[in-house]
Structure 1
Amino acid sequence: MKKLFYRWGANLIALTFMFSLMSACIPPASAGSLYDNYNQLVNQFPGYVDKLKQNGVSDQELRNFVQDLDKALQGKQLTSSNYNETMLNTILEVAKDPQYSNIKPAAVNSLSNQDISQIVSGQVPDDLKNVETAVKNVVPPVSGGGGGGGGGGGGGGGGGGSVLPATISDSVLNAAIQSAGAAGPVTLTAAGDSLNLTLDQLNRIQQTGLSLLVNIHGMQVLLPSAVLKISPPSGAVQFQLTVQQAVYQDVQDLLQSVSGRCKLDGNVYTLAAGTLAGDGSVQSMPQFGGQVTVLLPVPAAAQNAAASGKVKAWRYLGEWTEMGGTYDSTSGTVSFATQQGGKYALLETLVQPQPQPQPQPQSQPGQFTDINGHWAQQEIDAMAVKGFVSGVGEGKFAPEATITRAEFATILARMAGLTAAPDGAVRFSDVPANAWYRGMVGAAVKAGLVSGVSAHQFAPGELITREQMAAMMVRLMARDGLDMTISNSGISGALAPFGDAGGISSWARSSVALMARWQIMGGRENGKFVPRGNATRAEATVVLYRVLQKLPQ
């Protein structure tokens, strides 16, 4: 770090050394490089990271610091001539944040007096020379300019063209398939935030009939073979599964609504899937093509709480919804099923909450202040007056918000005139005892209007899909005595107008056909039904209103 160190105290110099090594894996000037390679850093320099942890810095603090440092470095052209000063000034800038008050003294305590003495005298400590070498190997030349080299198969280079992220090599995939044996799963671990597979590689895994288990930042996602059979958009060349961990400030904001009732065990993870085109553009996949299993790691300090049932998986979608989950002491994980990406975390119950009151239906039209002039205002008011739908509080209906399986099932139960089922009748592990919808979901299940996503899980917080809505509404209409039979030719004829009819799940084809025949549901854009698309609260209310008009009065 040369003569620049003479101008700074040993404390700040020590901090610079400890975090300069974090750029040794890949040039920090590239987007996401520091954070993406945190795990690689831990593996490459375990001694230094362990020293920081021994001096009171948690793994999460390090991850958050690295991510914030990475953001601060964006747009700063690092060269061998400005590297020392730029890194030092940026580290000092980020370290001013009070949330990182532990890091500076820990960095100082992690170096010996001899190390600090050598640094102040302008020398590189013997045990840090390998770090200096690694840094020099990745810092761009003094002249700057375009082109840095990329690693692996991802490539690098300037000149303006888009560069696709690296996929795993065929040799790694072959080894994973061979190791999986006859039972599977095929297990792959990502080095950064995402795992990328060519569509040919994805097809190879799918053809084995085995599940794919992906580990990203400790979050594991088990994708059954059927889910791996995707219909990529035109131009797609890669499949991408991404898991990002929330930074400190985002975590604090997300947890405000459960403060005092729950605490976070681990991190908040954002799961996403999509395909990449040759130009690097991403087409997101909000829904998996079926159920996937997510396994979240339970920190060692929370293992006992997890064993006692206090730690559950939750999903954040404007508010926290408990997903339930099963704790496995052998793997140290909580697993749960889902059909979609989103924010997930393990929350530990600190106090037993009181049962939540069921939202009261709106009693008079015109009381929702956010639907005036809305295209669905008439239907919303009509359904509210009858007590079938309710607001979200403060006189609002939130017509453009999405609707969950629990919310939709509750409306169906009200329309069927059902009464809430007793607690003992609800046997889904992911339906909390204090959930406002528990009784009505239980009643809807008992009446055969809805079913769980498995024998033990209902997935109440999952956004309901259009084909799921169709199936539930058909059951309600049949329960009220309407003839809901349809022939195979009738199904084919009713689905013919939909350009994506082939993508409708086999179990939902007759229901979608019936909803089209009864003119309750139609297509969306471009003549497609979009079976796995989600509905807004307004859309769901309108189709349920249409069902109501068909029911015997």
Structure 2
Amino acid sequence: MKINSNYYWRKLPASLMAVILMLNLILIGNTNVALAEEPTESVVDEVYSVVDEVYNVQASIDESVIDDVYGDQLEESVDSSFTVTEFVYGLNDNDILESMLIDNQGNILFEGLIESNIEGQKVAVFRDVDSGEYILCTLINGVLAGMENINGSNGDVSHNINAIEITGKINGVAQGQTIEIFWEAENGFEGMNSSLQITSNGDGTPFTFKTGPGNYKMKIISENYQEHVSDMQVDASMDLGTIEMVPESNDGDDSSNGGDDSSNGGDDSSNGGDDSSNDGDDSSNDGDDSSNDGDDSSNDGGTSSGGSGSSSDQDNSTTFPDSEIDEAITNSDNDNVELAAPTSREDIQITGSQLSSLISAEKEATININGVKISFDPGQFEFDSDTTLKLSVNEVEKNEATKLIEGTEYNLVDNVYDFNMEKLAGNGVANKLDRFSKALSITIPVPETYWADNNHNRLEVFYFNDATEEWEPLNANHKADVQSLIFNTDHFSKYAVLEKPAVNFNDIQGHWAEEDIINMGSRGFVSGYKDGAFQPNVNITRAEFTAMLASVLGLDKVEFEGISFEDIDSENWYFKAIGQAYKAGIVQGYNDEKFKPNEYITREQMAAMIDNSMNYVSLPGMEQQGVLEMFLDNEKISRWSQSSVKRVVSVELIKGVPSNKGINFAPKELTSRAEATVVLGRFNMMLDTLK
């Protein structure tokens, strides 16, 4: 800092100026003496005496004089603005970050600019903030995540938040009624809160949101229900369980108990849902067949002929007149004809001549039996005109289904289904068809509650292996738009949607990729170590990434004879995964006939494997123009990987790495287990959406 000397002298008192002038004269005189001879002892004493006097005068100067001298100069030299940077970890691409500086009355004074969106992290920046005290308010998806005092008197400020997920269920509120959740910070900012609105589904309405560490008060409000209030300290992900809402008309503990009883009653009715629904269907069939026809046709989107198919009470079967099959083929606006059985009917029969009509029209057939759909190519079942194809989907009785699940770590979500297909000859002889030359696609609906959050990731379709008496997973696709799991099979058996245990890794709480790791772990695509850790920040090897990718692609049924890589042995844990990936054209290895399984994978190697995987499953991909040019380090991308990088970046499977100067692709940088999990999670979502 530079002080103006003329300004300094103008501000000094006259008495002080006189003392300083006298000191200068003495010092100058004694300096001349010193040049000729050693100073005498009296001269030295005189000099020190004057110096002491000056110090005493300086000490007596009022501080206001110093402020008067220097104050204006200090004000001119100090920058009155500062910068606030907030880093929020544990977010995904869909999370919305809002960051603002407010005053004590809640007025918004500055809004943060979201400058970078790195995987798992979002950054809000406030520039040129006027010097003073503020409250930094952070919202994640509209929910309060932090309130922090900010003071810029000491310069720029940096603040970090690790996002924490809160989940739970609200029970007892009538279906369709609005529920409002207020989330209020209790760290000295009373009255500052945010709210989340959800609609009750009538039975355990799930909710989920993200917030930051701290002390909070949660209020749940719904019209005609008592307000629920709870205080909590948030420092890690929390599942609040089921919160019972009590109607205002009831009093005290008795009403609460009554709420529990009604909840239990609701569960009993849902458990007995099969019986009640069958009774309802029977009564509706007896009362009005045309009503059932109308429902079925609306479910089939106007292309189904199942609603008016004739039924036989003797065997619960459904048949169709040839004219109706021909009409369905004519009215179908795609390559598929859907035939639906009336509600409560458990099978459908299609004659050989009707199969021939479907084959001639080059149409795929979809059979809908009580919401479970079976899609197949009729060409593999070409029969004589007097031969009939019979498909049945039977719900296994509850007691038997419970016994089949006992002793496992799984929970039954809905029903165990027994699928069967028979070829009925004209003479009445039935031959069971166990294996199919082409895989059939099966769609099983899943209750709506599993799709309100990421709980559906814990679901999987299993088939019961009669030989081993064990349930085996099938790697089904999760279709959120139709709330169903879809899988392919080349044989029929007993199938069920089962809920797997929750995945818990002991080292990912608060990590930016925590949600993706849990979701992918729940699907069974990634796993941790024996000590319960996932080690998200450890670099991933080529073998580990290949194994994870093979799991996502469902390559477990790909057959291969052997591997030519010199550094891969049949005793290696990754032998099968690499062999299957090599057979599928996903990996190729190096020119020296080595795969180098224990080397860490680079970002451009990962891009190449993902690109090969897209080709394997015939997923569309477009190389957008100018993709590589957006990266500052595009010249570092190897020529052999450039096409792959273009494709995976164009469909946003892999994103760039922000820097101070712009965006890099960092092709030679190594990939962590967390980064690989996030990329594969995006790829799996693409598979679920497009398949």
TM-score normalised to structure 2 length? 0.32
Is the strand fraction higher in 1 or 2? 2
Greater RCO between the two (CA within 8 Å, min separation 6)? 1
Is the helix fraction higher in 1 or 2? 1
